[in-house]
Chains A and B, each alone.
Chain A
Amino acid sequence: MLKDADRIFTNIDGRSGGSSLAEAKARGCWSGAAEYLKKTPRELLETVARSGLRGRGMFARKTAEKWSEFIKRPSAFKYLVVSVNESEPGTCKARSLLRYEAHRLLEGCLIAAYICGIRRAYIYVRGVFAEEIEILENAIAEAERAGLLGMNILRTGADLHLSVHRGGEAYVCRTDSAMFRSMEGSRPMPDFGADGEKLFGSPVLVHNPETLCMLPSVLTRGADWFSSLGRAGNEGVRLFSVSGDVERPCLVEETLGIPMRDLIDKYAGGVIGGWQNLAAVIPGGISTPCLPREICEHVRMDYDSLGAVSSGLGTGALIVIGKSSDLVGILRRIALFFKNESCGECAVCREGCRLMFDLIDGIASGRGKRSDIGRLERLCEDTENAALCPVGISAVRPVSGFLRHFRTLLEERCRD
Chain B
Amino acid sequence: MIKLTIDGVEAEVSEGLSIAGACEAAGRPLPNVCRRAEETLPGVLRLSFVEIRGRDGVFDARTEKAADGMEIARDTPRLKKMRERAVRLMLAKHPPECSVCEKAGECLLQDVCFELGLSSGDEGVVTPLAETEETGPLVRMHPGRCILCMECLRFMRDVAGTSELALSGKGAETRIVPFVSGAFSSPLSGNLTDICPAGAFTDGSSKFLTRPWNVERKKTIDVLDSFLPPVFMDVADGRIVRVTPAPLPDGRAGMISDRTRFGVDGTAFGRVDRPYIRVDGRFRECSWTEALMTAASKLKEAEPSRTAAFVGSTADCESMAALADMMKIIGSANVDAGRFYARVPKRAGRWRFCNTAAEDVAKADALLIVGADPEREASLMNAAIRGNPMPKALLGARAEQNYACEYLGDSSDVLNELASGRHPFASVMKRARFPMLVAGKSLWRRSDARAVFEKLYETCVSFGVVKDGWNGFNMVGVSAGMLGASELGLVAETPLLPKAEEGAYDVLYLLGEDRLTRADTGGAFVIYQGTFASETAMCADVILPGAAYTEKRATYVGSNGTAKSTAPVLPPPGQAREDWKILRALSEYLEKTLPYDDLDGIRDRLGALSAAFVGSPEDGRTLLEPVSKEGNLSDEPFSLSGEGDDNEVCRRSPSLRSLKKIRKENNG
Contact = CB atoms under 8 A, between A and B. Distances in A.
Interface of A: 170, 172, 187, 189, 192-194, 338-348, 350-355, 357-358, 375, 378-379, 382-383, 385-388
Contacts, number: 98
Contact of B148 (A193, A339, A344, A378): A344
B17 to A, nearest CB: 15
B150 interface: yes
Interface of B: 40-42, 44-46, 49, 58, 63, 82, 85-86, 89-90, 92-93, 122, 124-125, 147-148, 150, 166-167, 169-174
Contacts of A189: 167
A379 B86 CA distance: 10
A354 B91 CA distance: 13
B173 A340 contact: yes
Q: Which 10 residue pairs of A and B lie closest in terms of their CB atoms, listed nearest first? A: A344-B174, A354-B172, A340-B171, A351-B89, A382-B85, A386-B46, A347-B90, A342-B171, A192-B42, A348-B46
A375 B123 CA distance: 10
A21 to B, nearest CB: 39
Contacts of B90: 347, 351
B85 to A, nearest CB: 4
B170 A347 contact: no
B63 A344 contact: no
Contact of B45 (A170, A344, A347): A347
Contacts of B169: 344
B82 A350 contact: no
Given A355-B122, A358-B124, A382-B86, A347 B147 contact: yes
A351 B167 contact: no
Contacts of A382: 82, 85-86, 89
Contacts of B85: 378, 382, 386
A345 B41 contact: no
B447 to A, nearest CB: 48
Contacts of A339: 171-172
A343 B41 CA distance: 17
B171 A386 contact: no
B86 A350 contact: no
B19 to A, nearest CB: 15
A379 B122 CA distance: 10
A346 B172 contact: no
Contacts of B58: 385
B89 A348 contact: yes
Given A194-B40, A386-B46, A347 B171 contact: no
Nearest to B125: A358
A160 B166 CA distance: 36
Given A355-B89, A358-B125, A386-B46, A347 B172 contact: no
Contacts of A193: 40-41
B521 to A, nearest CB: 60
B171 A385 contact: no
A391 B404 CA distance: 37
Nearest to A196: B41
A407 B125 CA distance: 24
B172 A342 contact: yes
Contacts of B41: 192-193
A342 B170 contact: yes
Nearest to A187: B167
A193 B44 CA distance: 12
Contact of B89 (A341, A347, A388): A347
Given A347-B89, A351-B93, 19 more contacts: A172-B170, A192-B63, A193-B41, A194-B40, A339-B171, A340-B172, A341-B170, A341-B171, A343-B170, A346-B44, A347-B148, A348-B89, A351-B122, A351-B124, A353-B171, A382-B89, A386-B85, A386-B86, A387-B46
Contacts of B172: 339-340, 342, 344, 350-351, 353-354, 357
Given A382-B82, A386-B46, A388-B46, A350 B122 contact: no
Contact of A343 (B92, B124, B174): B174
A350 B90 CA distance: 9
Contact of A344 (B40, B122, B166, B171): B171
Nearest to B58: A385
A342 B167 CA distance: 13
Contacts of B125: 358
A355 B147 CA distance: 16
6 contacts: A342-B174, A344-B171, A344-B174, A355-B122, A357-B172, A378-B85
A345 B148 contact: yes
B171 A355 contact: no
Contacts of A340: 170-173
Nearest to A343: B170
B395 to A, nearest CB: 32
B148 A386 contact: no
Contacts of A353: 171-172
A89 to B, nearest CB: 14
A350 B45 contact: no
A187 B92 CA distance: 25
Contacts of A338: 171
Contacts of A383: 89
A172 B174 CA distance: 13
A354 B174 CA distance: 11
Contact of A388 (B40, B44, B166): B44
Contacts of B82: 382, 385-386
Contacts of A172: 170
A355 B92 contact: yes
B619 to A, nearest CB: 38
Given A192-B63, A355-B92, A345 B86 contact: no
A206 B122 CA distance: 38
Nearest to A190: B42
B148 A350 contact: yes
Nearest to A357: B172
A170 B170 contact: yes
Nearest to B147: A347
A342 B173 CA distance: 9
A142 B45 CA distance: 49
Nearest to A168: B170
Nearest to A385: B82
A193 B63 CA distance: 9
Nearest to B91: A351
Nearest to B63: A192
Contacts of B147: 347
B33 to A, nearest CB: 10
A357 B125 CA distance: 11
A351 B92 contact: yes
Given A339-B172, A353-B172, A345 B44 contact: yes
Q: Which of B86, B90, B166, B172 has the most CB of A within 10 A?
A: B172
Q: Which of B49, B58, B85, B166 has the most CB of A within 10 A?
A: B85
A362 B30 CA distance: 37
Contacts of A345: 44, 148, 150, 174
Contacts of B40: 193-194
Q: Which of A341, A354, A388 has the most CB of B within 10 A?
A: A354
Contacts of A344: 148, 167, 169-174
